[in-house]
A and B are shown apart, each in its own frame.
Chain A
Amino acid sequence: MPDAIAMSGVSYHFGEQVALSDVDLRVGEGECFGLLGPNGAGKTTAIRLLNTLLPLQDGDIQLFGLDVRRQAMAVRRRLGYVPQQLSIEGALTGRENVAWFARLFDVPRRDRRGRVDEVLEMVDLSDAADRLAATYSGGMVRRLELAQALVNRPALLVLDEPTVGLDPRARDSVWARVQDMQQQYGMTVLLTTHYMEEADELCDRIALMHRGTVRAAGTPQELKDGLGAGSSLEGVFRHYTGDSLTDTKGGLRDVRATRRLG
């Protein structure tokens, strides 16, 4: 059985700025895998390459044995994606937002209504489903995005910092749903986060990224044990990078923002 994600020798650069450098990564089916690193580590670039948003420059990426270069549509059919930004169509109701994505993923008409109801219930939005999404709180928007991402029953759910900007209660709520869904669907989850405690609790394995490279990978326990008894993931990260995970200076997020402003 092929890996859910197989990245080998992947490099990417925005002009002169190297975003990823010779990254190898393998994620097994059914795993919850965390990409950790500060802003500019290359997490989002890695995600945008594997979900076909960016064209691959160097290396190979396969999802479930499918080549992202040549089989982009087949890859997308297997993906559910929640980007960093809270991004829903506020002029539509919650139900319409989810039904929109059900249509875009070609969920068969006979299954569509049931599937939309099912995922809305799963993220606990059934009662608010017929309200305009513009009236939702940040936590509700994130849960609605999860519903959109799950309506096609993806084989791989990609979550790019899904809890950024949410209060602790909303964060807990989002992660509880993700865990429930992973157990129910048995799908693979790839997530990025700044929050070490979240990664420690949720992820089967973790890759620590820094300045476009993978510095260490393993289970949270393996990584901590490798550093010595009583170590934390934050300590592991500092050990491999000499940097703090919460360091937010510079980085590719700033590069992208600058490119848009230019």
Chain B
Amino acid sequence: MSAPPAAWADTAPRGAVLLTSRIATFCLVELQRMRHDRSELVTRAIQPILWLVIFGKTFSRIKAIPTGQVPYLDYLAPGVIAQSALFIAIFYGIQIIWERDAGVLTKLLVTPTPRVALVAGKAFAAGIRAVTQAVVVLVVAALLGVGLTWNPLRLLAVVVVVVLGAAFFSCLSVTIAGVVLKRDRLMGIGQAVTMPLFFASNALYPVSIMPGWLRVISHANPLTYEVSALRALLLGLPTNLWLDFGVLTGSVVVGICAASALLGRLSR
């Protein structure tokens, strides 16, 4: 075995290559985690299935929500995908606090991984987990007769939207973790912000039927843009996809910067 220091150490990747490498690494680790615990995939699928089967079917019958020519169940399905991704991502801050308490975060911070890359890696790992959930919801929706697109390019774009949405909300969660520092506090705040984010979006009903004040909030809520993009891609409903992708991408960038800035508080 040759002696250190290793010659390759200073020719290691930097910049965008380093960032991409770290994101790929954290996504791979997330896939490995999921492979070892497939039960979570099943348990996490229960809630979206209930939303589609009970809420969706019931509200389709009573026709209480105006969705134009689109059946309410079809209208709801993209909202449930976005909601599933949100519910997965919003608790990633708890994972990082657990990693802090278990000493794993300390070890990660001593690797040649800039904090931005570490947060970005975790954010996109949340996206990977959310995509698996989205696949489950899509299959269930198809089984319930929702008229979804099966165009591979549109489905690829759906994956991108889900990843961006989950990445942003996981960053939001890590940012809150960096402020509150404790798992139980984050649990409370996570629960407190999740439902308002959900209800102040177009996941369940169109923005046009919201009261004015809620409409303003929904326009500032990245979940609205995620749902709009998903509806456009899966159902062909009209939206400004450039705006949706722009808002989601911008939110992810801001989220990564905010979470990275607060990561140091967690490690001290």
Contacts and interface: CB of A to CB of B under 8 A. Distances in A.
Interface of A: 51-54, 64, 73-74, 76-79, 81, 83-89, 91-93, 96, 100-101, 103-106, 108, 118, 132, 145, 148, 152-155, 184-187, 256, 259-260
A106 B12 contact: yes
B112 A155 contact: no
B6 interface: yes
A77 B12 contact: yes
Contacts of B37: 91
Nearest to B10: A74
Given A92-B29, A96-B29, 18 more contacts: A52-B109, A53-B110, A53-B267, A54-B268, A74-B10, A77-B112, A81-B106, A81-B110, A89-B104, A91-B32, A91-B36, A92-B33, A100-B29, A103-B28, A132-B36, A152-B6, A153-B4, A259-B268
Given A87-B102, A89-B104, A92-B29, A104 B113 contact: yes
Nearest to B29: A100
Which 5 pairs, one residue from A and one from B, show the smallest C-beta to C-beta distance?
A87-B103, A85-B103, A104-B111, A155-B5, A106-B12
B268 to A, nearest CB: 7
A53 B12 contact: no
A103 B234 CA distance: 36
Contacts of A84: 103
A155 B4 contact: yes
B21 A106 contact: yes
Contacts of A100: 25, 29
Given A53-B267, A74-B10, A153-B4, A105 B111 contact: yes
Nearest to A262: B181
A132 B32 CA distance: 11
A92 B37 CA distance: 10
A126 B181 CA distance: 37
Interface of B: 1-6, 8-10, 12-13, 18, 21-22, 25, 28-29, 32-33, 36-37, 102-104, 106-114, 181-182, 267-268
A108 B267 CA distance: 28
Given A85-B102, A186-B3, A104 B114 contact: no
Given A77-B9, A104-B112, A87 B4 contact: no
9 contacts: A52-B109, A77-B12, A87-B102, A91-B33, A104-B113, A106-B12, A106-B18, A118-B1, A132-B36
B115 to A, nearest CB: 11
A104 B104 contact: no
Nearest to B100: A260
B134 to A, nearest CB: 22
B1 A184 contact: yes
Contacts of A132: 36
A134 B2 CA distance: 32
B4 A92 contact: no
A105 B2 CA distance: 17
B148 to A, nearest CB: 32
